[in-house]
Amino acid sequence: MKPIVAPTKGVGDWQGRLVDLGKRGRLAMSLAFVGLSAVWPAEAARGQTGSWHSIRLNYGIRLEVPHDWTTDQPAVAAAIRAGQGVVDAIELVADTGGHLIIFKGPSFDTNEVSLEIQVMPARISQAALARMGDAEIEAGEESVFRPEVDGVAKRHALRITWWNGTSRRTIGGRYGLLTGYRFKYPNGREVIKETYSVYLGSKSVNVHVFRQTKADARIVSALNHMIQSLVISVDSL
């Protein structure tokens, strides 16, 4: 995917800082959808799966993951299978496409619930994001986020069914942006997705969350707890 040129009008700190925004991820990770399912209390979520594991990643990232979820990183997968309570994976680094790790819920083929973490180039600091007003964020959405999503959807015959826009949130203890909407595949299967982007100066930590609209409630509950458990312990990268 080609980089998206930064917006040039009415976007304040967005100017010149989002050139790499078009590299937010591959097709599946480029579509940003907001979760419409109920947010389950953290303790209720923990109670609906087996054991949990605290995963410590590079870039100051930490989160909790259920024992019955799978991951594409063999060392982390082996530690989870072995029942290791705290998994130290700080040696992992993002690949050239920004991918760091993905976790998939059980019965993924029928439920399609996943959480991927990327680390991408960025040009926005925590302080700059904190200063941005709603108008600036909206302008960035209209000039960058929405056009990219529409382009990806068109190229892959996906239909956007609901758009929830972009808003500033506190994510993992840091300022970030949440962009969200729903889409349908050509076969009619509908998916909800969230993209949480935490800007840390020269890099951003992007958390891409997929959840099929008909996914099992227990799995969605666990996913919500994973998001709530996320901690980003650094102010800049």
pTM, rounded to two decimals:
0.81
Mind listing the pLDDT tens digit for each residue in 121-165? 999 999 999 999 999 999 989 998 899 889 989 999 999 999 999
Q: What are phi and psi of 134, to 5 degrees?
A: -60, -35
Give dist(CA 228, CA 41) in Å, integer.
9
Strand partners, 83: none
Mind listing the pLDDT tens digit for each residue in 190-224? 999 899 999 999 999 999 999 999 999 999 999 99
Q: Could you count the other beta carbons within 10 Å of the beta carbon of residue 53?
A: 19
Structure token digits, residue 191: 């998916």
Percent of the chain with pLDDT over 70: 79
User: Domains, the chain, ranges and CATH?
Assistant: 12-232 (3.40.1000.10)
Q: HSE of 135 in the Cβ direction (CA atoms, 13 Å)?
A: 4
Strand partners, 116: 102, 208
At 110, the pLDDT band (50, 70, 90 cuts) reads: confident
Mind listing the pLDDT tens digit for each residue in 37-82? 333 334 434 444 459 999 999 999 999 999 999 999 999 999 999 9
Residue 148's pLDDT is 87
